[in-house]
Amino acid sequence: MIVGIIGGGQLAQMLALAGQPLGIRCLFLDPSADACARSAGELLCGDYADERLLDRLAECAHVVTYEFENVPEASLRYLASRVAVHPGPGALAVARDRWHEKRLFADLSIPTPPFVAVDSRADLDRALGVVGWPAVLKTRTMGYDGKGQRVLRQAADADAAFSALSGTPLILEGFVAFDREVSIIAVRAASGEMRFYPLTENVHRNGVLAQSLARPGDPMTARAEAYARRLLEHLGYVGVLAVEFFQKGDDLLANEMAPRVHNSGHWTIEGAETSQFENHLRAVLGLPLGATHAVAAAGMVNFVGCLPESPAVLAVPGAHLHVYGKEPRPGRKLGHATARAPREAEVLAALSRLRALCDFADGR
């Protein structure tokens, strides 16, 4: 079986590695000749809109999936007329535009911070009157890892923020003084079967995920699962879906969803019975879904902008190192390490040691 993947980054690489024991091969399409996924499968190098390459992908693959939201929707719809594409183009269209995404959350009674579309400087003033202060001005598309957004704390911030982000449709969202950030990783088969991984507690720095900790039995799990279930059913979704939330008191406010495998689910590689990557492949190929329970306490640390020496990582009890093979540069995700242990306290100690090996500040 061959799975075509739009994108050749680390998520595509980890999908391919998860597929190899199952006899699944992956074929990637990416404009970069040095895309890191090339080490795990065949790379078609070219533009995402190149119909010649899209045709080849459709001819070779049993199914096509994607590793990030900024795929041209037209390319995905072109492929969908020739080969099965999961998750479908409709899910991508919603997830790649923050306005459509927030509207869908609202339509499904999934709570969110207040939000207003902004198309002009006058719109921003009106939106601030609705959302209040502080607020976050974001581009509706092409934003990730903290990019394409500005926090507005006082009136003087509005002009600079609008000037920096104007030229593309924007959205203003209320700033949430959250207690913690959490995410739920879910997977749905074409049959409608759904499974959910334990809730994950996340820490971001500079807008980029720094650490994740699996929280089996967390009191907010049922609510997060219920919200994710609404999305999966509404979209007729097939594959892995991640939904990120702000928790404030007893409330969960949806921040965004990702129609793909997700950084906060990396702990599942060593920490769950079936990883998110294997389950995504199972779902899109119509194979039985695997169990999603945690096999031990588990967590993950991202290495951003720097990569520690392998011996230092492997000396940490319970640590497993994943190196992506990218050229280092500030702010770039170069690898991660998971930690697994019988007890959460041991995992937290391991994550602390791992963070100290490559201070996240080096990724500024």
Q: For residue range 88-104, what is the model confidence (pLDDT) as tens digits?
A: 999 999 999 999 999 99
Cα dihedral 310→315→320→321 (10° resolution):
-10
Whether the predicted pLDDT of 319 surpasses 80: yes
Residue 144: pLDDT band (50, 70, 90) is low
State whether residue 143 is helix, strand or coil: coil
Does pTM top 0.85 for this prediction?
Answer: yes
Return the CATH fold of 180-363: D-amino Acid Aminotransferase; Chain A, domain 1 (3.30.470)
State whether residue 46 is helix, strand or coil: coil
Quick count: other Cβ atoms within 10 Å of Cβ 91?
26
Closest C-alpha among 64, 60, 89, 48 to residue 5:
64
Return the CATH fold of 114-174: Dna Ligase; domain 1 (3.30.1490)
Quick count: other Cβ atoms within 10 Å of Cβ 11?
25
Longest dimension (CA), the chain: 58
- Strand duo 239-248 + 297-304: pairing: unpaired
Task: Determine the Cα–Cα distance for residues 144 and 278; give it in Å rounded to an integer.
Answer: 24
- Chain region(s) in the chain for CATH 3.30.470.20: 180-363
Whether the predicted pLDDT of 364 surpasses 50: no
Residue 206: pLDDT band (50, 70, 90) is confident
Name residue 249's amino acid: G
List of E strands, 52-179: 63-66, 115-118, 135-139, 149-152, 170-174
Paired with 322 in beta bridges are 336
At residue 155, the pLDDT reads 86
Place of tokens 């096509």: 64
Residue 146: pLDDT band (50, 70, 90) is low
Give 247-256 pLDDT, tens digit per residue: 999 999 999 9
Whether the predicted pLDDT of 258 surpasses 50: yes
Give 260-301 pLDDT, tens digit per residue: 999 999 999 999 999 999 999 999 999 999 999 999 999 999
Instruction: Give the residue-averaged pLDDT of 339-353.
Output: 98
Give 160-201 pLDDT, tens digit per residue: 999 999 888 999 999 999 999 999 999 999 999 999 999 999
Residue 316: pLDDT band (50, 70, 90) is very high
Identify whether 216 is preceded by a cis peptide bond (ω within 30 of 0): no
Task: Determine the Cα–Cα distance for residues 323 and 254; give it in Å rounded to an integer.
Answer: 31
Tell me the helix, strand and coil percentages in the chain, rounded to 5: 35, 30, 35
Residue 70: pLDDT band (50, 70, 90) is confident
Question: How many Cα atoms are found within 13 Å in the side-chain-facing hemisphere of 334?
Answer: 18
Task: Determine the Cα–Cα distance for residues 181 and 212; give it in Å rounded to an integer.
Answer: 10
Contacts of 80 (CB under 8 A, 6+ apart): 88, 89
- Chain region(s) in the chain for CATH 3.30.1490.20: 114-174
Domain 2-85 -> CATH class? alpha beta
At residue 167, the pLDDT reads 82
Cα dihedral 46→47→49→52 (10° resolution):
-20
- Chain region(s) in the chain for CATH 3.40.50.20: 2-85
At residue 358, the pLDDT reads 84
